[in-house]
Amino acid sequence: MVPTKLFDSERRVIEAAERLAATLGSDPNHTVAAAAMDAAGRIHRAVNVYHFTGGPCAELVVLGAAAAAGAGPLVTIAAAGDGGRGLIPPCGRCRQALLDLHPDVLVAVPTDEGPALRPVRKLLPDTYVFPDADARRIVRFNKRYYEDVASGRKTSTVRHDDPIAPGPALFLFEDDEAHRTLHGTVTGVERHRLDRLTAVQARLDDPAGLDEFKQGLRGHYPGLPSDAEVDVVTFTVTAPGTVR
């Protein structure tokens, strides 16, 4: 059972992997299924290819299938085992490949409370990063901000424990049935302590709203301490979104 705390799109990815895994079992060379969603909402599916020379895992095969379909950056991925094994986490090699090629993908993992989504970087702390991967970056927004971002009314965001680097990025609006995206550029990232953050640093038009703004951040990041470091990210929109 997939918890309701996941977006519908995230549930669909997990369910797609589990449905495909349920069809496996008669061939020992194909025992794991994977599904991945791109920014357009398309789900790509694949199975592993076991071989004693090191046949690829299902996650790697689905990366190739998605690339062949012109998918662009992937936003969610899940894998499931045959024989009713359910959701399974990626191996170390797959985690490294995902981090290098799709550094902003969310990975489905099993927990005691049910399936959960983790940023791939959380699965490989202090890892090596392949410098020549040239992966396209994703910046996620709540879907309610689409019009403000698209029109240029919203040009900044404050994040905690969500590394965003300056440069080109695809702006993804989560849980959006239309799967709208925008091309943009992250123009700057400034780090500040939350308790010392000023209205000017937070890019607030009304300084009187600073306390409410900080309270909103604590609501978005439960347990956020007052001395936490947050990143003020500035950005511009360069073109309407496409995924290829």
Active site residues: 59
pLDDT tens figures, 34-64: 999 999 999 999 999 999 998 999 999 999 9
Cα dihedral sign, 117-63-235-9: negative
Which pLDDT value is given to residue 30? 97
Is the CB of residue 105 less than 8 Å from the CB of residue 76? yes
pLDDT tens figures, 127-156: 888 878 889 999 999 999 999 999 999 999
Give 143-208 as a DSSP string. GGGHHHHHHTS--EEEESS----SEEEEEEEET-TT--EEEEEEEEEEEEEGGG--TTTTT-S-GG
Which pLDDT value is given to residue 243? 43
Is the CB of residue 157 less than 8 Å from the CB of residue 244? no
Is the CB of residue 34 less than 8 Å from the CB of residue 65? no
pLDDT tens figures, 176-226: 999 999 999 999 999 999 999 999 999 999 999 999 999 999 999 999 999
Is the CB of residue 178 less than 8 Å from the CB of residue 240? no
Q: Are strands 156-159 and 116-119 parallel, antiparallel or unpaired?
A: unpaired
